[in-house]
Amino acid sequence: MSKTMIHLESDYNNGVHEAVLRHFLDTNDERTQSYGDDRFSEQARALIREACEAPDAQIWFLAGGTQTNATIIDCVLQPYEGVLCAETAHINVHEAGAVEFTGHKVIALPAHEGKLDLVELQTWLKAYFADETAEHMVRPGMVYITFPTELGTLYTAEELTVLHDICQEYGLLLYVDGARLAYGLAASTDVTLPLLAQLADIFYIGGTKCGAFCGEAVVFPKGNAPAHMLSRIKRHGALLAKSRVVGVQFEALFSKVEGNPLYLQIGSQAVMLAMRLRSIFVDCLGYPPFIDSPTNQQFYVIPNAALERLRQFIGFEVWCPVDDTHTACRFVTSWATTEEEVEEIRKM
């Protein structure tokens, strides 16, 4: 890639946050246990429990997002249960059928800017449980949401509370895919790690897109993981022998910087730059938002005539055509995006 390019294609086109890199250096000579029992993983767990105010939380580190979704969903569902989600959900679209590979149906409901409509969800559940043929249909066992969604949008604390209540009412697990959780927490005005730990049955704290090379931290906030998780994870091929590779990274990501976990700061910085990007695109260039995203994924409607010029300076992703002369494009900031890069765009 060209050196002068500003890379906003994705939040996984980079290396690791310098604090993570440093921690690799500092700990490389130590000998440790393996399969999750290394002291770095243990310390990372302690830091995450503290950040979530969930002292009983059980935490498992897996390598990637699709692996985490498929493994955990299969581990907690009954074999005959399926998982409800918005039709734009990652598990429904971009995981190559990894959930179905484990034998579970992904039951897609309409998506509204990436989110489930909670009334529609409730209506669906009511109809399912009233249906006399329900036993011949896949039983819903879980609601899956992404926070932030694939379109950068967020559920509010109130929405999450209602969702939690619906799940309780119908005996469903609430699972939150936090592949980009750092950016979601930074952008939300009322959703915090402790709130997630209260409302979700399971959630994962994404590492790969938030400063690590790889690794996602799965949290069962109430110590509610099923028995024999090590065996379950291993048979999914998801148990790392040298588990420190993720443990070291999460220890660094949840170490405190000015009183808060680095992870939160990573999110804030990227969201701040996303907002600055937005002011450039919307206010200066007059390119309206395609979706009103408060997080690090930004979508603007670009005149086709301007696309070629933009491409010379910025790496981004074409999302979809809007009309004959406009295209929606995605621009993603990350922990690795710099103020200088964004200012560079302003000058173009």
CB of 34 to a copy of itself, least distance (A): 5
Diameter of the chain by CA atoms? 64
Nearer to a copy of itself, 94 or 126 (CB): 94
Nearer to a copy of itself, 189 or 227 (CB): 227
CB of 86 to a copy of itself, least distance (A): 15
Nearer to a copy of itself, 163 or 273 (CB): 273
Question: Residues 138, 115: contact at Cβ < 8 Å?
Answer: no
CB of 13 to a copy of itself, least distance (A): 5
Nearer to a copy of itself, 193 or 245 (CB): 245
Identify residue 25 by its one-letter amino acid code. Answer: L
Omega before 148 cis (within 30°)? Answer: yes
CB of 56 to a copy of itself, least distance (A): 21
Nearer to a copy of itself, 20 or 200 (CB): 20
CB of 70 to a copy of itself, least distance (A): 5
